[in-house]
């Protein structure tokens, strides 16, 4: 554990193996924390909050600068570890998993440097202050990216924190904790307690000295965290499940829209909460869409994640492998048309949690594979007869995290985007932006990450009446 500026032994004896999903063999063993370790970490964070919350903006900017630089300096180590602990293809880990994680720190630093922590409304001063001690619970699918998306803005806001990374992909989190130590983080400002959700996650969520919980995970996990947090009335920010639609409008360029849609749905082997895993297409173009989608999937290279030519490694763990196989079986049983992929591992791969990139077509919107988050390389193609029906299908799940719209008439595409009930909508595959707020409607969660809105999640609002505008400036 990393607590109060030091690496310390846990108070319990429990251990867990870290499994390489490409071989199904253990590659490391980690200590699992207990509620007592959480108590120690929270106490350290509470002590550190007194000074950190009123530290100068400049000192926090400089710290984040150092963290950003160290992540980039150690990028290859992070990429290798991420590939080993959760199966990301090494090329993808290098090009995406690590660089976008670093971007979250850079953006938090830039937002901090210019954020107005004190504004005026007549004779009322509006102060934005750090909310306090934050518990951060992160998942296994984007292990470093999800850590920096929370840690960066929390530190920028002046919060102190306790991080609980997933016990299934914990090694990149330990490397990150070393970065924090080497960057000179003051004792107690950043703490890390490895462990399971039922033990460490529950203890953090219920802890009376934790002011806020931010979780990225399944909707089920988010509900459990919210229930545990409710008695202490702490803020709970949740980035949860998704079943994102990709609406291909009738005028879309199919040769561009469909291959990019397949790639987006199956990026990170489909293990992204916002992956556009429902491709909603005009019925009159269904056969052409099927042909192009099949060709696109055929170009993927599934195999050893450390091989340079691999585009898609295994899914991250046995439970996820079993879930994907179960849902593919359900899709077949439901009568969806299997274009490619299917049950079992790809040929020539006898071990490892490898799944076959799978595309179903002629999927009915109420089928399980169109309603439930699968979190694997499975795409459902759903036909529609009118744009109104396409919008109804797009909105027809309990989720509302992300969405995509493809069309050449931008006014029409924007009109459809305005009707989609989700926290983000992407028109014609724009570049990813760390400034765009990210979060969900409905059961996809509460709150926002990334950009200014991500910083503001970690701030409280204080109004001071009778505060003269000429009074001495106050900064967080």
Nearest to residue 413, comparing CAs of 433, 428, 429, 395?
A: 428
Catalytic residue among 167, 199, 239, 373: 239
Helix (H, G, I), strand (E, B) or coil at 272: coil
- From residue 340, alpha-carbon distances to 120, 280, 322, 358 in Å are 60, 18, 19, 5
Catalytic residue among 134, 273, 340, 355: 273
CA distance 306 to 188: 36
Residue 402, CA atoms < 13 Å, CB-side half-sphere: 25
CB 117 within 8 A of CB 194: no
**239 catalytic residue (yes or no):** yes
Nearest to residue 175, comparing CAs of 96, 83, 48, 89?
A: 83
CA distance 39 to 37: 5
CA distance 150 to 136: 7
- Token reading at 417: 């985007």
DSSP state of 467: -
DSSP state of 178: H
What residues are annotated to the active site? 239, 273
């Amino acid at each position: 554990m990393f607590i109060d500026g030091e690496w310390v032994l846990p108070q319990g004896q429990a251990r867990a193996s870290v499994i390489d999903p490409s071989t199904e063999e253990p590659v490391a063993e980690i200590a699992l924390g207990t509620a007592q370790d959480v108590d120690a970490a929270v106490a350290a964070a509470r002590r550190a909050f007194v000074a950190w919350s009123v530290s100068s903006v400049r000192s926090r900017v400089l710290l984040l600068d150092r963290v950003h630089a160290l992540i980039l300096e150690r990028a290859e180590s992070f990429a290798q570890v991420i590939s080993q602990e959760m199966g990301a293809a090494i090329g993808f880990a290098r090009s995406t998993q690590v660089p976008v994680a670093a971007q979250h720190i850079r953006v938090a630093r830039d937002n901090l440097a210019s954020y107005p922590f004190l504004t005026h409304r007549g004779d009322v001063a509006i102060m934005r202050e750090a909310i306090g001690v934050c518990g951060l619970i992160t998942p296994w699918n984007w292990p470093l990216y999800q850590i920096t998306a929370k840690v960066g803005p929390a530190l920028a806001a002046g919060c102190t924190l306790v991080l609980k990374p997933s016990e299934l992909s914990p090694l990149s989190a330990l490397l990150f904790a070393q970065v924090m130590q080497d960057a000179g983080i003051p004792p107690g400002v950043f703490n890390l307690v490895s462990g399971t959700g039922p033990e460490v996650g529950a203890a953090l969520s219920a802890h009376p000295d934790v002011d806020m919980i931010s979780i990225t995970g399944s909707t089920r996990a988010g509900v459990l965290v919210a229930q545990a947090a409710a008695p202490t009335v702490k803020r709970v920010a949740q980035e949860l499940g998704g079943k994102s639609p990709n609406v291909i409008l009738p005028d879309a360029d199919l040769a561009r829209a469909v291959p990019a849609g397949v790639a987006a749905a199956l990026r990170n082997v489909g293990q992204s909460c916002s992956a556009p895993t429902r491709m909603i297409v005009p019925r009159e173009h269904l056969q052409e869409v099927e042909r192009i989608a099949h060709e696109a999937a055929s170009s993927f290279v599934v195999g050893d994640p450390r091989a340079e030519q691999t585009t898609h490694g295994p899914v991250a763990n046995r439970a996820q492998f079993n879930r994907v196989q179960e849902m593919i079986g359900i899709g077949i049983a439901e009568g969806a048309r299997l274009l490619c992929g299917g049950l079992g591992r790809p040929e020539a791969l006898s071990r490892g949690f490898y799944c076959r990139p799978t595309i179903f077509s002629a999927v009915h919107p109420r089928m399980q594979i169109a309603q439930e988050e699968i979190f694997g390389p499975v795409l459902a193609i759903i036909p529609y007869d009118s744009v109104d029906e396409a919008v109804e299908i797009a909105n027809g799940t309990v989720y509302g995290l992300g969405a995509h719209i493809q069309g050449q008439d931008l006014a029409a595409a924007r009109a459809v985007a305005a009707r989609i009930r989700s926290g983000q909508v992407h028109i014609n595959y724009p570049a990813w932006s760390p400034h765009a707020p990210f979060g969900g409607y409905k059961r996809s969660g509460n709150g926002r990450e990334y950009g200014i809105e991500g910083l503001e999640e970690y701030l409280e609002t204080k109004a001071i009446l009778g505060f003269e505008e000429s009074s001495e400036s106050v900064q967080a």
